[in-house]
Amino acid sequence: MDISEQLNLSTPITEEEVEPYLELTTELEQKRRSQGRIILDRFLRNRVAVGGAVFLIFLFLLCFVGPYLWKIDPNSIDVSSVTSTLSPPSLVHPLGTDTVGRDTLARIMAGGQVSLLVGITSMLMAILLGIGIGALAGFYGGMIDNILMRFTDVVLSIPLYLLLFVLSASFTDGSPKSVIILIAIFGWTYAARLVRGEFLALKEREFIAASRTIGAKDFRLMFRHILPNAAGPIIVNATLLTGTNIILESVLSYFGFGIKIPFASWGNMIADGQSIFALDGWLVLWPALAIFFTVLCLNLVGDGLRDALDPYMTER
């Protein structure tokens, strides 16, 4: 048999066969997932971080939805009987009661609301301050950088707890609002340094030069182009800072400088329970566990985010 017949040389190539290859340049078809999706996938692969996130969600639900289901008033006093004060965990009071018969579960929820609120809002304020100061310092450099960063160094060099004790003793009224502001005013320093570093590196990148060539103003360069590229480290820092601020609030409240009665917080619950620790250990245990697990989980989530947001982790 003729070899050309075997090879089917007579049938011409059809248009359909050629057409897919006529495209001007090849596209990278497989990467159609959005960047957010890629990050989420990477985060979900980290079991420990997901565990932390699940616990945090549970905690949020407990503190903010729980009170609608568990309708005991955290401030209602019940001294009607011996069994209603300082009772160990039971069906009526799953976490027990304190010296004046208040339900510990209800107080954990109320205290959690305050502690989480303080942690998160003070983190937001501190991060915003840090971004503003760090962005200006990193973007403009020179004199502005020097002044702002030396100011940051000064704030960092003051012993934080001592300063907070003194200031909160004289300036706060024991309400969550005053404590939030106080913590935020001194919590921005690490964020500012971090943001400055990111800005210093990113402003030299070519796409910033390219944006300049289309006439973008400094403000646009800073907050539309550079800041989103620095979002990863800032988010990680924000997560860790929330944990730090919760601890800070608890410490202040424990020493009686932070949140004061009638507001419950995990910190002043520990302080309350400590005096009768020998009599009833439960009172210290519950808020301590709550703080411990919250901060631990925040840190785990922060670590998970750090890995997920790291642009150099190329595996998809």
Partner 1 sequence: MGENLLEVQDLKTYFKVKAGRVRAVDGVSFAVKPGEKVGVVGESGCGKSVTALSIMRLLPQPAGEYAGGSVLFNDQDLLDLPEKEMRKIRGGKIGMIFQDPMTCLNPTMTIGKQIGEALRIHLKLSKDEALKRAVSLLEQVGIPAAAERVNSYPHQFSGGMRQRVMIAIALACNPKLLIADEPTTALDVTVQAQILELINGVCTEFGTAVILITHDLGVVAGVTDRVVVMYAGKIVETAPTDELFANPRHPYTLGLLASVPRLDEQRHAQLKTIEGAPPNLINPPTGCPFMPRCAFARAICRTMPPLDPIGENSNHYKACWVDVTDPKEQAYAEKRRQARNERMLAVIKESALQTLEEK
Distance CA 161, CA 39 (A): 36
34 contributes a contact to partner 1 by CB under 8 A: yes
Q: Which residues of 211-236 are buried (b: 16+ CB within 10 A; e: fewer)?
A: beeeeeeeeebbeebbbebbebbbbb
Distance CA 227, CA 293 (A): 31
By CB under 8 A, which span of 169-177, 183-191, 227-235, 243-251 interacts with partner 1?
A: 227-235
Distance CA 140, CA 316 (A): 36
Q: Binding residue for partner 1 (CB under 8 A) from 92, 154, 209, 289?
A: 209
By CB under 8 A, which span of 1-9, 89-97, 208-216, 233-241 interacts with partner 1?
A: 208-216
27 contributes a contact to partner 1 by CB under 8 A: yes
143 contributes a contact to partner 1 by CB under 8 A: no
Q: Binding residue for partner 1 (CB under 8 A) from 7, 213, 312, 315?
A: 213
Q: Which residues pair with 152 in a beta bridge?
A: none
How large is the angle between the packed helices 47-64 and 104-140, nearest 10 degrees? 120
Rank residues 225 and 306 by Cβ distance to partner 1 and give the closer one: 225
Rank residues 177 and 220 by Cβ distance to partner 1 and give the closer one: 220
103 phi, psi to nearest 5 deg = -75, 125
Q: Binding residue for partner 1 (CB under 8 A) from 15, 23, 173, 315?
A: 23
26 contributes a contact to partner 1 by CB under 8 A: yes
Find the shortest distance in angstroms from Cβ 308 to partner 1.
15
144 contributes a contact to partner 1 by CB under 8 A: no
8 contributes a contact to partner 1 by CB under 8 A: no
231 contributes a contact to partner 1 by CB under 8 A: yes
Q: Which two tokens stand for residue 7?
A: 């090879």
37 contributes a contact to partner 1 by CB under 8 A: no
Q: Which two tokens stand for residue 6?
A: 């075997």
Shortest CA distance to 252 belongs to which of 105, 244, 63, 295? 244
Q: Binding residue for partner 1 (CB under 8 A) from 10, 25, 157, 170?
A: 25
281 contributes a contact to partner 1 by CB under 8 A: no
Q: Which long-range contacts (CB under 8 A, 24 or more apart) does 218-226 make?
A: 218/139, 221/139, 222/135, 222/139, 223/135, 226/135, 226/139, 226/198, 226/199, 226/202
Rank residues 84 and 229 by Cβ distance to partner 1 and give the closer one: 229
Distance CA 167, CA 186 (A): 11
**Site residues (vs partner 1, CB under 8 A):** 23-28, 31-32, 34-35, 142, 205-207, 209-217, 220, 224-225, 228-229, 231
